[in-house]
């Protein structure tokens, strides 16, 4: 993550107190599976002491308040519930424009895939993103960052994928880095050059040069790795987009360059994409709406974390959510994420995603909170800094307008946190 982890807070000592519940998510430094996903480790009537942006004590008020010096700035949680900042493990943070026009078409009955096959979808956002300057993308990215922060998300994974040329993919990844440097949002970058086959490479254009997969492997991946612009490589693995064979080539090349792997898998077809994620030892397989029991077993055997994106199922008007219960029962360390993007999931709200996870996938509120914090942090390998409220971690903390954590997914569609602290600094809401 960005160097701001080491940035000193402007006030050296802060005490957050009068918390009805502090949901610490404290525990081992690894993803939570099975029944562990329901163990939240809650402190009642608690307080948190922070020094220079890091947590130095968490516990009952009676134990923590005496540790604070007279100079400590007090933040009153007003008897409300406190959690770690949300970690959103799958976002397409940087893009130009929006697709409200396609939303209207879907409302009239067209499907997401039909719109895509007619030249809309990802390709329409690619056209707009290619012509945007880096500065314009940073400005839009900063606006999106505020949306995340206002909803209590303090860390996001951020993918490229709306450029699909060497220069425009690098432009997007540099914009991710700038947003991470210029806003309090912590961003973990992922290269997704294989998000869609660009128009100029589709057969309609009778293109005869090297294939797009070759361009990714020969030019894009080496540049991304050499400029250290991404930590992960992702592929949209779907029969009509990047087949399992193409995805295997790209992901194998990425791994050889030191990138870790994430895969958009089984979103529309159970095509072996999750099996590929397992075969290659990917960190995550994402979507998985169509995954079968064989795929779930393979993810478990390989230790791949499933990243479930119910916001995209909801927004494209599908009924088929990923089989979250089967995954939890199989012992998978489930992650929830927004899939924030202008097409299939235009939301930056983790509480909304948690609500969908509870009502549509039958996850419990405790499982949803684990999936939105510590499990997501593990999926991005940032669990030593964020994802739980443990001594030594950065003070990324949310005070919710609620007395009980179950209210977070219960009040849906617009509840905003009362206070968000990033690195111990209170954000203007």
**Looking at 209-217, 250-258, 335-343, 346-354, which segment touches Fe ion (CB under 5 A)?**
335-343
Using CB under 6 A as the binding rule, the residues of this chain from 246 to 305 that contact ligand NIG are 264, 267
Q: Which of 83, 153, 271, 344 binds ligand NIG (CB under 6 A)?
A: 344
Residue 248 Cβ, how far from ligand NIG at the closest point, in Å?
Answer: 18
Instruction: Look up residue 118 and give its DSSP letter.
Output: T
With CB under 6 A as the contact rule, the residue among 343, 365, 423, 424 that binds ligand NIG is: 343
DSSP state of 402: S
Using DSSP, state whether 342 is helix, strand or coil. coil
Binding to ligand NIG, residues 134-173 (CB under 6 A): none
Kindly state whether residue 232 participates in binding ligand NIG, applying the rule CB under 6 A: no
| Stretch in the footprint of ligand NIG (CB under 6 A) among 119-127, 141-149, 164-172, 369-377 | 119-127
Residue 34, marked binder: no
The H or E element spanning position 214 is: helix 212-215
What CA–CA distance (Å, rounded) separates 178 from 185? 11
Residue 264 is labelled as binding a ligand: yes
Number of C-beta neighbours around residue 114 at 10 A: 13
| ∠ Cα 361 364 369 (to 5°) | 100
The piece of 167-175, 180-188, 199-207, 334-342 that touches Fe ion (CB under 5 A) is: 334-342
3-state SS, residue 46: strand
Q: Does 342 bind ligand NIG (CB under 6 A)?
A: yes
**Which region among 74-82, 335-343, 356-364, 406-414 touches ligand NIG (by CB under 6 A)?**
335-343
Please name which of 198, 201, 206, 205 lies closest in space to residue 236, comparing C-alpha atoms: 198
**CB 362 to Fe ion: min, Å:** 23
Nearest residue (CB) to ligand NIG, 89 versus 343: 343
Pairing between β-strand 153-159 and β-strand 86-88 as defined by DSSP bridges: parallel
Of positions 22, 37, 96, 122, contacts ligand NIG by CB under 6 A: 122
Query: Which of 333, 387, 337 has its CA nearest to residue 357?
Result: 337
Q: Annotation-wise, does 90 bind a ligand?
A: yes
Residue nearest ligand NIG by beta-carbon distance: 343
How many Cβ atoms are within 10 Å of 99's Cβ, its own excluded?
Answer: 22
**Can you read off the two tokens belonging to residue 178?**
């700038």
Q: Which of 13, 157, 266, 339 binds Fe ion (CB under 5 A)?
A: 339
Q: State the Cα–Cα distance between residues 125 and 280, nearest whole angstrom.
A: 30
Backbone angles phi, psi at 176, to 5 degrees: -60, -45
Asked if residue 196 binds Fe ion (CB under 5 A), the reply is no
Geometric angle at alpha carbon 156, from 113 and 261, rounded to 5°: 65
* 121, 163, 189, 272: residue in contact with ligand NIG (rule CB under 6 A): 121
* Residues engaged in binding ligand NIG (CB under 6 A): 92, 121-122, 125, 236, 264, 267, 312, 339, 341-345
* Residues engaged in binding Fe ion (CB under 5 A): 339
């Amino acid at each position: 993550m960005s160097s701001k982890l080491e940035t000193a807070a402007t006030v050296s000592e802060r005490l957050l107190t009068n918390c009805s519940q502090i949901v610490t998510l404290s525990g081992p430094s690894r993803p939570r599976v099975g029944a562990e996903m329901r163990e939240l480790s809650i402190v009642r009537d608690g307080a948190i002491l922070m020094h220079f942006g890091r947590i130095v004590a968490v516990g009952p008020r009676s134990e923590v308040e005496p540790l604070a010096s007279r100079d400590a700035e007090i933040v009153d949680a007003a008897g409300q519930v406190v959690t770690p900042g949300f970690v959103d493990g799958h976002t397409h943070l940087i893009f130009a424009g929006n697709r409200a026009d396609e939303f209207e078409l879907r409302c009239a009955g067209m499907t997401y895939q039909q719109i895509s096959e007619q030249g809309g979808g990802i390709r329409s956002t690619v056209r707009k993103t290619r012509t945007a300057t880096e500065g314009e993308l940073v400005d839009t990215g900063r606006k999106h960052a505020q949306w995340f922060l206002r909803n209590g998300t303090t860390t996001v994974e951020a993918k490229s994928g709306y450029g699909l040329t060497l220069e425009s993919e690098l432009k997007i990844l540099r914009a991710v880095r700038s947003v991470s440097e210029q806003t309090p949002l912590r961003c973990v970058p992922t290269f997704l050059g294989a998000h869609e086959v660009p128009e100029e490479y589709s057969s309609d254009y009778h293109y005869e040069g090297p294939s797009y997969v070759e361009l990714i492997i020969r030019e894009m991946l080496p540049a991304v790795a050499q400029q250290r612009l991404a930590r992960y490589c992702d592929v949209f693995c779907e029969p009509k987009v990047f087949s399992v064979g193409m995805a295997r080539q790209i992901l194998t090349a990425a791994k050889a360059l030191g990138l870790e792997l994430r895969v958009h898998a089984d979103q529309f077809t159970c095509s072996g994409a999750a099996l590929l994620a397992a075969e290659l030892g990917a960190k995550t397989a994402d979507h998985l709406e169509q995954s079968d029991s064989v795929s779930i077993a393979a993810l478990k055997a390989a230790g791949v974390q499933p990243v479930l994106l119910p916001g995209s199922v909801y927004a494209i008007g599908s009924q088929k959510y990923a089989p979250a219960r089967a995954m939890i029962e199989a012992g998978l360390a489930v992650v929830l994420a927004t899939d924030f993007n202008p097409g299939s999931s235009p939301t930056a709200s983790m509480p909304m995603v948690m609500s969908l996870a509870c009502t549509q996938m039958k996850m419990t509120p405790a499982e949803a909170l684990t999936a939105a914090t510590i499990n997501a942090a593990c999926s991005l390998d940032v669990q030593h800094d964020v994802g739980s409220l443990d001594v030594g971690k950065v003070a990324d903390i949310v005070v919710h307008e609620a007395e009980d954590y179950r209210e977070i997914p219960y009040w849906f569609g617009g509840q905003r946190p009362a206070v968000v602290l990033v690195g111990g600094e209170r954000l203007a809401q």
